[in-house]
Amino acid sequence: MLALDKTRSITRAAEQLHVTQPTLSLFLTNLEKRLGTPLFHRLGKKLVPTQVGEAYLRRAQQIVALKYDFEMEMNDLISGRQGKLYVGGLRKGNLFLMPRLIRRFRMDYPGVDIILHEDNAENLEDALCAGELDLIYVNQPPTHSGLHVEQVRQDHMLMVLPADHPAAKRSRWLKGCHYPYLDLHYVEQEAFYMMEEGRTVRTVADEALHYAGVTPRKIYLISNIELGCQMAAEGLGVAFTMESYRREFDYPHPVSYFRVGDPKFSLSWYLMWRKDAFRSTYMDEFIQLLKQFA
């Protein structure tokens, strides 16, 4: 049922489950007959859960999560040194944090495999609630109940300019800021290299522009933060990054970083896991190390 819901197709679900399509069709037909109600609407070749189907799938996800929690608990009781930990994170968070974190973790738990999963915050939270992940580290607050949430750190957006940009001289220091503050009006005639809509850096950058009342002369959409910062380093415009990312970047020409928009704005990073999930000793250790490294 979970495979059918994920693929919304009997053909693709059968391939995923390594069974024949007639076998899976018969299973679904018999299940619906036994329950006395359809579980999916058939819209052409696409399957869409009915209300009863949605209720069934919620319970199925809980059963999968319970099974996995039991396996973790049993394994931990038997050895406490072997197992797997499924960790979800954003691409940049995984890229800059996880390699060093996992290296340190394996000094104490060499027999535990860390399986990393990358996606946006919304999909990661859904996977966590479905029992597909053990914990996630994201920069958006939770939307589901039943999650244990800890705020790990505060982050800020930074604007990137060439070090010799004339506007840099107009920046000023504000109390509590680790970077000089610059009014966006001083660069509104520049080209802006920005992520596509829906990405965190783009959302925060749009809020900063709205706060300043600035409309960029030209916006170039980019696929990753590093590309925009490299463009800014070459003097081709301005770009944005996060304070937690900038220490990992290296550019052929010197750049300067500035706080922009609302000086009081900050972005929180959250660590989440299911409240009812069994936490192995190695999961607890990984959580503590993540807090330290973050």
> What is the domain-level CATH number for residue 37?
1.10.10.10
Q: How confident is the model at residue 177 (pLDDT cuts 50, 70, 90)?
A: confident
* Position 60 in a domain: no
Angle, CA of 288, 112 and 59, to the nearest 5°: 85
Q: Is residue 54 part of a domain?
A: no
Contact between 29 and 16 (Cβ < 8 Å)? no
* Domain assignment of residue 142, given as a range: 65-153+269-293
User: Which residue shows structure tokens 């049993």?
Assistant: 74
Q: Which residue has the tokens 């197992």?
A: 83
User: Element (H or E) spanning 27, and its range?
Assistant: helix 21-35
Q: Is 247 found in the same domain as 112?
A: no
**11 φ, ψ (degrees, to nearest 5):** -65, -50
Q: What is the largest CA-CA distance in the chain?
A: 75
Number of domains in the chain: 3
Q: What is the three-state SS of 61-84?
A: HHHHHHHHHHHHHHHHHHCCCCEE
Specify the amino acid at residue 16. Q
Contact 227, 201 (CB under 8 A): no
Tell me, what's the pLDDT at 80?
Answer: 65
Is residue 247 domain-shared with residue 164, that is, in the same domain? Answer: yes
CATH number at residue 91: 3.40.190.10
Q: Assess whether 275 and 147 both reside in one domain.
A: yes
275, 255: one domain: no
Q: Report pLDDT digits (tens) over 198-257.
A: 888 899 999 999 999 999 989 999 988 889 999 999 999 999 998 888 776 777 888 999
Q: What is the mean pLDDT of the chain?
A: 91
Same structural domain for residues 169 and 243? yes
Q: Are 258 and 179 in contact (CB under 8 A)?
A: yes
Is residue 246 situated within a structural domain? yes
250 and 167 inside one domain:
yes
Query: Rounded CA gap, 12 and 284, in Å?
Result: 37
Q: Buried b vs exposed e over 182-209: b needs ≥16 C-beta within 10 Å? A: bbbebbbebbbbbbeeebbbbebbeebb
User: Under a CB-based contact definition with an 8 Å cutoff, are residues 283 and 229 in contact?
Assistant: no
User: Do 170 and 246 belong together in one domain?
Assistant: yes
Q: Is residue 55 part of a domain?
A: no
Assigned domain for 111 exists: yes
Are 141 and 163 in a shared domain?
Answer: no
Same domain, 238 and 194: yes
Handedness of CA 123, 125, 129, 133 (dihedral sign): positive
The whole model's pTM is what?
0.65
Please say if the pLDDT value at position 266 is more than 80: yes
% pLDDT > 90, the chain: 69
pLDDT in tens, 70-112: 887 787 767 667 788 999 998 777 777 899 999 999 999 988 9
* DSSP for residue 10: H
Q: Is residue 57 part of a domain?
A: no
Within this chain, do residues 43 and 180 fall inside the same structural domain, yes or no? no
Query: In this predicted structure, what is the pLDDT of residue 172?
Result: 94
Q: Is residue 59 situated within a structural domain?
A: no
* Residue whose structure tokens are 């946006």: 120
* Whole-angstrom distance, CA of residue 227 vs CA of residue 160: 12
Instruction: Name residue 46's amino acid.
Output: K
Task: List, in sequence order, every residue forming a beta bridge with 138; answer none if it has no partner.
Answer: 270
pLDDT the model gives residue 45: 86
Instruction: Decide if 229 is inside a domain.
Output: yes
Q: Do 185 and 261 share a domain, yes or no? A: yes
